[in-house]
């Protein structure tokens, strides 16, 4: 990599594909090489938040757990609140919950009932869009609190899994696509 600002292709080159993790048939996209290089991590946050400037959103919501890493950095950059959307049973106060289907079984996400206010403009962030079930459940939690998801932004989109089709009506932004 040169001394120029890292590009989408630099990020693509850094993301490590790990076959058969965590189970046979899954091509896991390992983002730790991006996190391990501050220039790449910084470029990832800039590209992830390309459509937004400081003060243009009230909150950035991140999905447990890798989404937290990108959403927290994006929230600081945009001078916005950081909102964690966690797996069921982790948030200590009053929560709303939303269940969704996985390939095998189901999972539940939760948000604190006071995490966002009615009318808030929320940028939803996760590391990766696959089938879209996770992002849809997270968006519903925000919408049930009467806030607006202004965009769902992902560092990585696996286009062949067609998660976009599940997220109709939500503005979507992804940085590195496969
Ligand atoms: P989905 O609900 O199918 O869109 O899955 C998205 C969530 O699962 C994200 O929070 C990702 O962190 C994780 N995920 C799904 N597939 C992969 C993959 N191939 N590599 C890394 N993470 C993945």
Atom of ligand 1 nearest to the CA of 127: 12
Catalytic residue among 12, 16, 103, 159: 103
- Distance separating alpha carbons of residues 163 and 161, to the nearest angstrom: 6
Atom of ligand 1 nearest to the CA of 27: 19
Ramachandran region of residue 55, left (φ > 0), alpha (ψ -120 to 50) or beta? left
Active site residue 98: no
Residue 103 pLDDT > 80: no
Segment 124-148 shows an average pLDDT of 98
Res 35 pLDDT > 60? yes
Q: What pLDDT sits at residue 112?
A: 98
Quote the mean pLDDT of the chain.
Answer: 97
58, 81 in Cβ contact below 8 A? yes
Residue 59: which pLDDT band, with cuts at 50, 70 and 90?
very high
C-alpha 104/C-alpha 175 separation (Å) is 28
Q: Confidence class of residue 142 from pLDDT cuts 50, 70 and 90?
A: very high
Tell me, rounded to whole angstroms, the distance of Cα 125 from its chain centroid.
Answer: 3
Contact 104, 27 (CB under 8 A): no
pLDDT at 104 over 80: no
107 lines ligand 1 (CB under 6 A): no
> Taking residues 161-167, what's their average pLDDT?
97
Is 165 a catalytic site residue? no
Cis peptide before 60 (omega within 30 of 0): no
Ligand 1 within 6 A of CB of 44: no
**d(C-alpha 159, C-alpha 149), whole Å:** 21
Share of the chain above pLDDT 70, in %: 99
Domains annotated for the chain, with CATH where assigned, are: 53-177 (3.40.50.2020)
pLDDT for 1? 54
């Amino acid at each position: 990599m040169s001394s120029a600002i890292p590009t989408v292709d630099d990020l693509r080159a850094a993301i490590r594909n790990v076959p058969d993790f965590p189970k046979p048939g899954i091509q896991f996209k390992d983002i730790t090489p991006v996190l391990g290089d501050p220039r790449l991590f910084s470029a990832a946050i800039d590209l992830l938040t390309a459509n937004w400037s400081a003060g243009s959103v009230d909150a950035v919501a991140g999905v447990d757990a890798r989404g937290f890493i990108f959403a927290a950095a994006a929230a600081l950059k945009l001078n916005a609140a950081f909102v964690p959307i966690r797996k069921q049973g982790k948030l200590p106060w009053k929560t709303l919950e939303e269940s969704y289907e996985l390939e095998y079984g189901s999972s539940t996400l939760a948000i604190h009932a006071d995490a966002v206010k009615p009318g808030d403009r929320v940028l939803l962030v996760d590391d990766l869009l696959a089938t879209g079930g996770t992002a849809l459940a997270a968006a519903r939690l925000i919408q049930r609190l009467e806030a607006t998801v202004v965009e769902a932004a992902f560092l990585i989109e696996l286009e062949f899994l067609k998660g976009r089709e599940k997220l109709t009506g939500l503005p979507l932004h992804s940085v590195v696509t496969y």
